[in-house]
Amino acid sequence: MKEKVVGGAALLAAFAVLYVFAIPSYRQSEPSIAGRRAPDFALELNGRPAHLADLHGKVVVLDFWASWCPPCVAEAQSLNDLQQRIESQGGLVLGVSQDGDTSAYEKFLVDHQVNFPTFRDPSIQVSDSGGDNRVGAIAQGYGTVIIPEAYLISRDGRIARKIVGQQDWTSPELLSTIDTLLRSQ
Report pLDDT digits (tens) over 97-108. Answer: 999 999 999 999
Q: When comparing pLDDT for 25 and 164, which is higher?
A: 164
pLDDT of residue 39: 96
CA atoms in the 13 A half-sphere facing the CB of 46: 3
Edge to edge, what strands does the sheet with 91-97 contain? 118-120, 91-97, 59-65, 149-153, 159-164
pLDDT in tens, 24-79: 444 444 557 889 999 999 998 888 999 999 999 999 999 999 999 999 999 999 99
pLDDT of residue 26: 45
CA–CA distance from 114 to each of 10, 50, 57, 130, 166 (Å)?
A: 45, 20, 23, 25, 17
3-state helix, strand, coil in the chain (%, to 5): 40, 20, 40
As a whole-number percent, the residues of the chain with pLDDT over 90 amount to 70
Kindly give the residue spans of alpha helices, DSSP state H, lying in the chain.
Answer: 2-22, 70-86, 102-111, 137-142, 172-183
pLDDT of residue 9: 52
Average pLDDT, the chain: 85
Classify 1 as helix, strand or coil: coil
pLDDT in tens, 115-137: 999 999 988 866 544 455 578 99
